[in-house]
Amino acid sequence: MAKQSESARIYWVIYFTLLFLLGATIALAFVDMGHHWNTFIAIGIGCMKAGLILLVFMHLHWRDWLTWFFAAAGFIWLAILLTLAAADYSTRNHPSHSSPKGEPTLLAPSE
Amino acid sequence: MAQVPYIAAPSVPTINTFLNHDFRISSWLLTKDHKRIAILFMLSITLFFIIGGAAAALMRINLAAPNGWLVRSETYNKLFTAHGVIMVWFFLIPSIPTVLGNFLLPLMIGARDLAFPRLNLASWYLFITGGIITLAALVLGGVDTGWTFYTPYSSSFSNTYVILTVFGIFISGFSSILTGLNFIVTVHQLRCPGLTWFRLPLFVWGLYATSIILVLATPVLAMTLALVGIERIWHMGIFDATHGGDPLLFQHMFWFYSHPAVYIMILPAMAVESELITCFSRKAPFGYGFIAFSSIAIAVLGFLVWAHHMFVAGISVYSGLVFSFLSMIVAVPSAIKVFNWTATLYKGSIALQTPMLYALGFIGLFTIGGLTGVMLATLGIDMHVHDTYFIIAHFHYIMVGGSVMAYLGGIHFWWPKITGRMYSDWWGRISAIIIFMGFNLTFFPQFILGYLGMPRRYHTYPPDFQFWNILSSAGASILAFGYLLPLIYLPISLRYGARAGKNPWRAAGLEWTTQSPPIEINFETIPIVTGPAYDYPRVLTETQSGQS
Amino acid sequence: MARVEYLNPPYQDLDQQSHSAELGMWVFLATEVLFFGVLFTCYAMLRMRWPAAFRHGSEDLNLWMGGINTAVLLTSSTFMALAVRAARAGDSRWIITHLAITAALGMVFLGLKATEYSIEYREHLIPGLNFANLSPEDQGKPASQQNARPEQERLFMIFYFVMTGFHAVHMLVGIGVIVVLIILTGRGAYGSGYHSPVEIAGLYWHFVDIVWVFLYPALYLLRQS
């Protein structure tokens, strides 16, 4: 096993940071920031929390590149899935194909 | 594990092997020995191959005449679904990794077993459970959705045993995941001293790349099929446009797995190919690093191309362009491999024994399959031939012409190692030639049929297409005969074949330095590697001096 | 090299065995990311399609119960980390204590989750069972005061139940594993020489926590545009 801190203190520091981030993300849910900022910030705070858990609770900080690779692989591949799927959904409907209400139509009715 | 019974009994004339140290049924069903598990897999996937092949035979017999004389359309739907489901999930995907990979990976890297022997056994039980459940669905009445389970056919419009089939595939998916996980950890942790990454046999590189796909793609399929099941049970609507869902979402998720799944089938085949070509050219492979890294490149790039299955399904034209471009990029590492194999042949001292004939057949068929794949990645051509026999021919050239040829080639190559016996090389070569010719006669006419516009998945067709269909059906019967031959002469060799010795092919690689069949712990002492892989000048001098 | 009895073939020493087990768990977690990833991707794509309906669904969930549950899970994760620390120190009494607290907090989480589900049942929010376009208290009101649910809110609720359901299954598995570990530690199985099962169970538990860390904002918190 790699060398690492044996003090319990770091776990409690991380714990209270996580609780603070949880409080922050709940508070921000009540503020309308517009332009999808709520989504970005909520997911961003989620990433920070996940990062702390990965690095300290799961000891990734003290692990070699191989463990980092497999820890990252799942998220990288999920990013591929999300990005390329979103590439379709976000460009599927040219503005001229939208319905009058602005809600995009997934398939033209004739199909 | 490696104690008294395996070293004792020197007076018995037969040698101690992993096969004869214990004959009880329980010693097979509860074995943790990767070699025995490989044989369990070999027997089970052969059974599935026969069942899937029977479904294909019925379809080809029906298509010999244009009027659908043999089966009704419902039956035909169930036949092609059964054929696809069984061949994809219960034969092709497990074929090379779980049989040859399981048997050879520890031998090739100088280890006593895979990293997690118990998980390996669990993997076989999951596979066989999933297989039995799926077969049960087929016996109870079958499924008519096609192997792709496209929504909304599978969720709203089919009244066949979709849930049961999907559940069987879901379970066997975990078998794939466990196999991939096991291989990855084994390659990282259990290489013997001196065996650095660039001394690994190319087969190990190929298996490693395959394992990456197995662990990262299979969970997507599992969850997607679970959603189809949930959708059917509670009429949820995630994939149903009338409830605000989107049927194409299913196709996105499904092909995120199922396109890389094609590489699960072809990467290990390429890995076998690299071994066969080098051995029977008596030469180190041309461009070891390129072959090794092209496997990894295919594994990664294979995840970026899935929507080329959906060009006409209603995805955005812009992402269609992107996916078309990315699909063509995957052709580059595949082509690198083909060029390297042919360059390896150049000035090699080529021996046309059975495994080599399969290997050469693979190169030809894979090249045709791959090049038609580039054609299909082109948006314009795909619009024209989508869902025609052109597609059928293309992917059979890859999956049957590529994977099955390589699987058979690998089985013929390592048969002496697995069983300790030589089979009849004459019959082997005859079967390789018959399979190659039968395959081409079956599937080349389907390219023409597809180009002429015959759609897939119909049990009748206009009489104009009959000529090509008869050719195809005739080829299928030759192909079936070719597949039957190894099923006869390989078992015969178990009893009547000559003893193989350690290294009958004078091949390089650690698996040939241990006895055939290997002892239960593979190596008496863990080997130490001092030189590169495929050091054929050295191997040839060593085997010359009577070591084989 | 204490505790040779835990050395299994094909390994040469316990260090190699522990490293392999840990690497195996990380690979497994990579598959788990994609397992849940399908749900997150489908959810994101359909949320892009029906933003208003999904927002309405978010508002029908109990933000505070979800928040308390998040805190409960984060606390349990901290105790899991302390259990692993105790295992490294070879202190089996503290391994058991910390693991027991972790499992108990896991049960609290599941209890709260079940309470939430029952509230949602009363609110007629469960698709396939009793989903209705109006909550029970809105039904008596005149049409102008009703807060009618958009049609596609049903879709949101499907995702909510499937995602939290799969997460709850993972929690159950985790609690089961922890109970087994407590029993084995009680029999003296794990100490400073060998504690690999505690470490990899910890990895799994933290991962289940991470899934919730993303589920919570995605389902409960995205209430604004």
Quick one: pLDDT at residue B7?
Answer: 45
Residue A79 confidence (pLDDT) above 90: yes
Give the integer Cα–Cα distance in Å for B438 and B474.
8
pLDDT of residue B51: 96
Confidence of residue B278 (pLDDT cuts 50, 70, 90): very high
Residue B30 pLDDT > 90, yes or no? yes
Identify the closest residue of chain A to B255 by CA–CA distance.
A81
pLDDT confidence band for A36 (50 / 70 / 90): confident
pLDDT of B384 above 70: yes
Signed CA dihedral, B157, B220, C128, C156: sign only: negative
Q: Which two tokens stand for residue B541?
A: 């001098």
End-to-end CA distance of chain B: 29
pLDDT confidence band for B422 (50 / 70 / 90) = very high
Q: What's the rounded mean pLDDT across residues B498-517?
A: 91
If one compares B66 and C194, the residue with the highest pLDDT of the two is: B66
Confidence of residue B292 (pLDDT cuts 50, 70, 90): very high
Query: For position C205, what pLDDT does the model report?
Result: 97
Q: Do residues B88 and B52 make contact, with C-beta atoms less than 8 angstroms apart?
A: no
Note whether A87 contacts B318, CB cutoff 8 Å. yes
Q: What is the pTM of this model?
A: 0.93
- Does the pLDDT of residue A109 top 50, yes or no? no
B244: left (phi over 0), alpha (psi -120 to 50) or beta: left
What pLDDT, in 10s, does the model give residues C52-69? 999 999 999 999 999 999
Identify any residues that bridge with B388 across adjacent strands, giving them in sequence order. Answer: B455
> Buried b vs exposed e over B309-346: b needs ≥16 C-beta within 10 Å?
bbbebbbbeebbebbbebbeebbebbebbbebbebbbe
- Chain C residues with CB-CB distance to B244 below 8 A: 46, 49-50, 53, 151-152, 154-155
Neighbours of chain A (3+ CB pairs under 8 A): B, C
The answer to whether residue C41 scores a pLDDT higher than 70 is yes
> Given this model, what pLDDT does residue B11 score?
46
CA–CA separation, C177 and C106 (whole Å): 12
Average pLDDT over residues A71-76: 94
Give the residue-averaged pLDDT of B197-226: 96
User: Residue B245: closest CA among chain A residues belongs to which residue?
Assistant: A106
pLDDT in tens, B508-533: 999 999 998 999 999 989 999 998 99
Q: Please give the pLDDT value at position C130.
A: 83
A53 to chain B nearest CA, in Å? 22
Count other C-beta atoms under 10 Å from residue C5's C-beta: 8
Q: Which residue type does B69 have?
A: W
Cβ proximity of B218 and B93 under 8 Å: no
* pLDDT single digits (tens) C174-218: 999 999 999 999 888 887 778 899 999 999 999 999 999 999 999
pLDDT band with cut points at 50, 70 and 90 for residue B432:
very high
Is there a contact between B163 and B226 (Cβ–Cβ < 8 Å)? no
Subunit contact A57:C49, Cβ cutoff 8 A: no
Candidates B286, B422, B421; CA nearest to B354 is: B422
Res. B376 pLDDT band, cuts 50 70 90: very high
**Average pLDDT for residues A2-24, to the nearest whole number?**
84
C10 preceded by a cis bond (ω within 30 of 0) = yes
Say what the pLDDT of residue A94 is: 53
By C-alpha distance, the chain C residue nearest B239 is C42
Alpha-carbon span B512 to B548, nearest angstrom: 9
Phi then psi for A59, rounded to 5 degrees? 60, 20
| Cis, peptide link before residue C142, omega less than 30° from 0 | no
pLDDT at A6: 62
Average pLDDT, chain B: 92
pLDDT at B289: 95
Of C23, C41, C46, the CB nearest to B185: C23
Mean pLDDT over the full length of chain C: 90
Tens digit of pLDDT for each residue in B303-339? 999 999 999 988 998 899 999 999 999 999 999 999 9
Tokens of A103: 């809600």
From the list C11, C20, C5, the residue with the least C-alpha distance to B526 is: C11
Pick from A92-96, B411-415, C72-76, C169-173: least confident:
A92-96
Distance from B168 to chain C by nearest Cα, in Å? 17
Of the pLDDT bands very low, low, confident and very high (cuts 50, 70, 90), residue B13 is low
- The type of residue at B153 is Y
CB-based contact, A76 to chain B, within 8 Å: no
Q: Which residue has the tokens 């989480």?
A: C109
pLDDT band at B543 (very low <50, low <70, confident <90, very high): confident
Instruction: Answer for the pair C124, C135: CB distance below 8 angstroms, yes or no.
Output: yes
Helix, strand, coil % (nearest 5) of chain A?
65, 0, 35
Residue-level pLDDT at B6: 45
Q: For residue B455, report the phi and psi dihedrals to the nearest 5 degrees.
A: -75, 155
Q: Is the pLDDT of residue B456 over 90?
A: yes
Q: Rounded to whole angstroms, how far apart are CA atoms C63 and B508?
A: 64
Whether residue C129 is predicted with pLDDT greater than 90 in this model: the reply is no
Question: Which of A74, A84, A91 has its CB closest to that of B304?
Answer: A84
Average pLDDT rounded to a whole number, residues B89-97 = 96
In the structure, what pLDDT confidence band is assigned to residue B9 with cuts at 50, 70 and 90? very low
Instruction: Quickly state the pLDDT bin for C4 (edges 50, 70, 90).
Output: low
Higher pLDDT, C14 or B327: B327
* Chain C interface includes B438 (CB < 8 A): no
Q: Which pLDDT does position C74 carry in this prediction?
A: 96
In one-letter notation, the amino acid at residue A34 is: G
Look at A77 and B322 and tell me if their CB atoms are within 8 Å: no
Report d(CA C49, CA B237) in Å as an integer.
Answer: 14
Q: Of A97-106, B219-228, B384-393, which range is least confident?
A: A97-106
Task: State both tokens at B489.
Answer: 């002469």
At residue B140, what are phi and psi to the nearest 5 degrees?
-65, -20
pLDDT of residue B152: 87
What is the pLDDT confidence band of residue A84, given thresholds at 50, 70 and 90?
A: very high
Q: Where are the alpha helices (DSSP H) in chain C?
A: 14-49, 51-60, 63-89, 92-122, 136-139, 153-186, 196-216
